[in-house]
Structure 1
Amino acid sequence: MRKQIIRVLIEFKKILQEKLHQYNEQLPFMIAIFVALILVVGGINLFIDLTEILQSKTISRFDQTVTDFIISFRSPQLNKIFQFITDLGDVYGYLILTALCAIGFYLRFKIWRYVLEMLFVMIIAGLSNLALKQVINRARPDAAHLVAVETLSYPSGHAMGAIAFYGFLIYLFYNFKMNTWLKTGILLIFSFLILAIGISRVYLGVHYPSDIVGGFIAGFIWIIFCVILFQVMDIFRKRKRSRQELNE
């Protein structure tokens, strides 16, 4: 993705240099970020428009069928397992995991940038989720809840947070230079956690399956925007450092 972004920015830079008499080196990067922002806002608007089908009979049948299938496996042992999994997608779970990642990233890279990016992704995703819940205003399922919940239902904050947090970790680890088998194993674990956290919310009776799908979609839109944003910022930072070294 980075090579494609660099190629687009180079071509865009050439066009701007030809059209503008007073050219600003930062202009292509600012416009790229602005375009990425437009894309994510457009994606969210499309997401909100699609939520109108939540009241359809097709979605109701889908929710009921999937929910009945998942909760049919309920047992005291699975209850504990899924309660633990759902905790991995809760605020306190993310705080602990972020602290562990901060220590790991600092020991490995001696920088805090990845942790700051992770916090940015999670904080804005959380605020966006609360806003979307208020706009859509969907009540929780009537099924017995195995954990306490206070907010509205759609989209699932756990599903959106799982995509944002573990999805961002997938992006980071995919770009890290490390043993291929170890990297593959880590990426599979993160992917499994995203899916498991989503399923846990239906199993525990606090979300409809469509809530989970909506959370995954909203989280995916957000993480794509963040990846593009961080890629552009990284390219800009490296080019600026290179120019400074040449001037010295």
Structure 2
Amino acid sequence: MIKLLIIFIKKLKVFLSKKLSHYNVTLPYAITLVLALLIGVFGINIFVELTEVLSTETLSNYDTKITSAVLSHRSTSLTKYFTFITHVGDVYGYLVVLILSAIISLVVFKRWKYMVQITLVLFLSALSNVVLKRVINRARPDLEHLVAVETLSYPSGHAMSAMAFYGFLIYLFYRFKMNRYIKIGTILVLAFLILSIGVSRIYLGVHYPSDILGGFIAGAIWVVFCIVLFNLIEVFRSDPKIPNNI
């Protein structure tokens, strides 16, 4: 990602310096940030499109069929598993992972920036989820709830936070220089965890499948935007032509 950004910004610098009589060294970065925002807007548009069909009969049929298929597999062992998994995707679960991330960032990588980035992604996801729930105002499924819930249904906060938080962790592990098999294994475990958290909310009767899909889309938007933003900041700070006082 950083290499692609550097190449893009270099080409943008050359283009702007030729086209503009008064060229500002920070302009390519501003344009790149705007483009990142446009990517975010495109993702939000997909999210809105899904939101607009929440009340349609077609989506309702899909929700019913998928929910019935998931609930048909209810058992004592699966209930224990999905109850545990859904707690992993809750506040206390993230606190444990954040503490572990802080230890790894400080001890292994000796840098706090990864911890700050992970925390920011989770915060943005959680904050926007609260706003989206209030705006869309969709009630929970009229099913037996195997866990207690208090907020509204769409988009799923668990699915959104899982995609944003663990999705960003996947990106970080992809960038880390480490044993190939450990890296691949960790990424697969995190991907399975994201999927499990989403399925757990359907299994426990507290979300429609469309809630999960909406949460995954919204969470993915934050992952992509934050990856571009953090890399852009890194490239910006390393640019020798940028004055230190900016």
Q: TM > 0.5 between the two?
A: yes
Letter in 2 for 1:127: L
Q: Secondary structure at the match of 1:3?
A: helix
Q: Secondary structure at the match of 1:190?
A: helix
Q: How does 1:1-248 map to 2 (within 5 A)?
A: 1-240=1-240
Q: Secondary structure at the match of 1:144?
A: coil
> How much does 1:39 deviate?
2.4
> How much does 1:41 deviate?
2.8
TM-score (norm 2): 0.94
Distance in 1 (CA, whole Å) between partners of 2:28 and 2:119 is 26
Letter in 1 for 2:32: A
Distance in 1 (CA, whole Å) between partners of 2:20 and 2:229 is 24
Unaligned residue ranges in structure 2 (runs of 5+): none
Distance in 1 (CA, whole Å) between partners of 2:48 and 2:131 is 11
Letter in 2 for 1:186: T
Distance in 2 (CA, whole Å) between partners of 1:174 and 1:71 is 35
- Deviating beyond 3 angstroms after TM superposition, the runs of 4 or more aligned structure 1 residues are 240-244
User: What count of residue pairs does the alignment treat as equivalent?
Assistant: 244
Letter in 1 for 2:118: M
Give yes or no for contact 2:236–2:242 (8 Å, CA) kept in 1: no
Pick closer, same or farther for the CA change 1:92–1:240 going to 2, 3 Å: farther
TM-score (norm 1): 0.93
Give yes or no for contact 2:26–2:242 (8 Å, CA) kept in 1: no
Unaligned residue ranges in structure 1 (runs of 5+): none
Letter in 2 for 1:155: P
Bigger shift: residues 32-41 or 144-153: 32-41
> How much does 1:80 deviate?
1.5
